[in-house]
Amino acid sequence: MTDQSSIRIGGASGYWGESDMALPQFLNSEPLDYIVFDYLAEITMSILARAREADPSLGYATDFVDAVLAPNLVQISDQGVRIISNAGGVNPEACAAAIRKHIADKNLSLKVAVILGDDLLPQRNRLAEQAPREMFSEEPFPDASKVASVNAYLGAFPIAKALAEGADIVITGRCVDSAVTLGACIHAFGWQDNELDKLAGGSLAGHLIECGPQATGGNFTDWEQVADTMADVGYPIATVYSDGSCEISKPEGTGGLVSVGTVAEQLVYEIGDPSAYYLPDVVCDFTQVELREIGENRVLVTGAKGRGVPSHYKVSMTWADGWRLGMIWFYVGGKARERARSFAENALERARRKLKSAGALGFGEELVEIVGDGSHFGSDSLESNSREVALKIAAKHQDKRALMLLLKEITGAGLAAPAGLAGFAGTRPKPSPVIRLFSFLISRSDVSISIDNGVDRISFCDPSASTEPSVYPTLVHPLPAVADVSTDFVEVPLERLAWGRSGDKGNKANIGVIARKRAYLPWIARALTVDVVCERFGHFLDSDSVSRYFMPGLNAFNFLLDEALGGGGVASLRNDPQGKSYAQILLQTPVLIPAALLEE
């Protein structure tokens, strides 16, 4: 612990494959205390698991070590900035070893620590015997031989302990995304495990910078405000204060934008119930969070509350469930949609007949999607006269040979297709594994955490291992009432009244909607009922489970759509298996509002 009233933390990465421009940008701007990197998603874990299976020395984000960290180690050492990253994936020890080699080659004295204990793959047979059900779908535990990865989402206190032991670089496996930021806060301010509001505030700071430039203009509803500057986008900096509040900014002279809108969109990104947002260290209540612009590209964030500490860790397991294949074509000309669908159905029918004649099972799932006909907006009539469409034909099967047969029939039907077919020449897809997500809870006492500092291994005592099980119900806030007005009304798209951001968690999608003005909120509330959202996304939903949560501090609503992504991730055949476009669909919803409000 150091005697500080604030620390500056840069968010340098939001996923594996993120641009490497953030670290040099941070190192050449105003000094930072910490730089954090988030690389892991459920899909990423399955990819890294396959890499480790093929080569025991792999299974981590190799580009983080060789392309991001190694070229900048001297400057990192000179500035004394500390690095925290979950780039260790499923093999954090190998990641740390590779970093230590680069450090030694440069004759530096940086200390590297590794957080261990999240990887439960060696326990998969025992877990299969316990047979926990999937926590959202209630599906049974899969065949243990098909399991690719099993990882508990660890928290921030082990990271803080590693920093206290003198680590300059901390590498973790699967920890919750915001923990890399919260760990720095716990260490710097000496926060205790019972200071829940502070832990919630530090977690929110981590959530706001964990996706890099999504907080500074990336994926922003008002994208035209920043379009000309995004080649030089500034990555987010959180100045976190000892009371848990924070300020979001970006390096001077960089592109993008930090505003209430950009920060609010990131705040609602990929959350569920905002009054009971479960993290390993604290159950957060974000419903009263407020944002205030305090300067150019500076937004103050206050109001996060902590409600308790979970008694269990969430575990994300990935497992192989056959194969999938998809191929994209284009159709041009009159009735392009009808031509595309005819071509797809005929190609699929050919493949079905051949499978049947061979005595093989049919496809487990088929999907034909036509982009350009308006179907993603729930209506085939929106652009039914489109003369240019993209056609995607996809299927799943337990035997990849069946998918190769489908590929042959799709490409082989080209000369017997309706006119107007086109494609990008020279490339053909290959079947890829269907990797499904299976989530469940495990008692904290069943997870053994340790810290390897390169010299010895220190056992970590989880301060919340004995927490009593408890449930934190949704906090219900009264909805804003529509004023009784006698005036002229006008119908406008929601986008004129609100910002929006959507994302995924497994097979769930969330859509956050933030009113641009508080006065718009009652009218948005009246227009965006659960029934309206259900109808709007009915063509995507496999159930009618849609929840609406009100966030009065932010003037926002969060909608959670269950079973909305066709399995999600690489288990889905859809064009948008992660719900990234869902906010754009919802923002086209017509809203009736007094004309006078728009003129103010």
Residue 517 and residue 424 share a domain:
no
* pLDDT over 90 (residue 322): yes
* pLDDT over 70 (residue 513): yes
Q: Is 254 helix (H, G, I), strand (E, B) or coil?
A: coil
Evaluate whether 38 touches 177 at the Cβ level (below 8 Å): yes
Q: pLDDT per residue over 255-301, tens digit each?
A: 999 999 999 999 999 999 999 999 999 999 999 999 999 999 999 99
Tokens standing for residue 388? 């240019």
Residue 361 and residue 288 share a domain:
no
Choose one of 309, 331, 351: the last residue of a domain. Answer: 309
Choose one of 282, 309, 336: the last residue of a domain. Answer: 309
Q: pLDDT per residue over 400-452, tens digit each?
A: 999 999 999 999 999 999 999 999 888 889 999 999 999 999 999 999 999 99
Tokens 């291992």 belong to residue: 465
Residue 342 and residue 255 share a domain:
no
Residue 425 and residue 532 share a domain:
no
Q: pLDDT per residue over 429-438, tens digit each?
A: 999 999 999 9
Instruction: Read off the pLDDT band of 380 (50, 70, 90).
Output: very low
Any domain includes 484 = no
* pLDDT over 80 (residue 383): no
Any domain includes 198 = yes
Residue 345 and residue 234 share a domain:
no
Whole-number average pLDDT of the chain: 95
Residue 199 and residue 157 share a domain:
yes
Instruction: Read off the pLDDT band of 469 (50, 70, 90).
Output: confident
Residue 299 and residue 335 share a domain:
no
Residue 325 and residue 305 share a domain:
no
Residue 203 and residue 159 share a domain:
yes
- Is the four-CA dihedral 205, 211, 216, 221 of positive or negative sign? negative
Residue 76 and residue 203 share a domain:
yes
> What pLDDT, on a 0 to 100 scale, did the predictor assign at position 330?
96
Domain, as residue range, for 57: 6-118+153-309
Q: pLDDT per residue over 324-347, tens digit each?
A: 999 999 999 999 999 999 999 999
Residue 358 and residue 212 share a domain:
no
> What pLDDT, on a 0 to 100 scale, did the predictor assign at position 43?
80
> What pLDDT, on a 0 to 100 scale, did the predictor assign at position 375?
72
Choose one of 309, 336, 371: the last residue of a domain. Answer: 309
Which region, left, alpha or beta, applies to residue 212 given φ > 0 means left and ψ of -120 to 50 means alpha? left
Beta partners for 591?
Answer: 492
Q: Which CATH number characterizes residue 427's domain?
A: 3.30.70
The helix (run of H) or strand (run of E) holding residue 505 is: strand 498-505
Q: pLDDT per residue over 96-136, tens digit each?
A: 999 999 999 999 999 999 999 999 999 999 999 999 999 99
> What pLDDT, on a 0 to 100 scale, did the predictor assign at position 374?
73
Our count of domains for the chain comes to 3
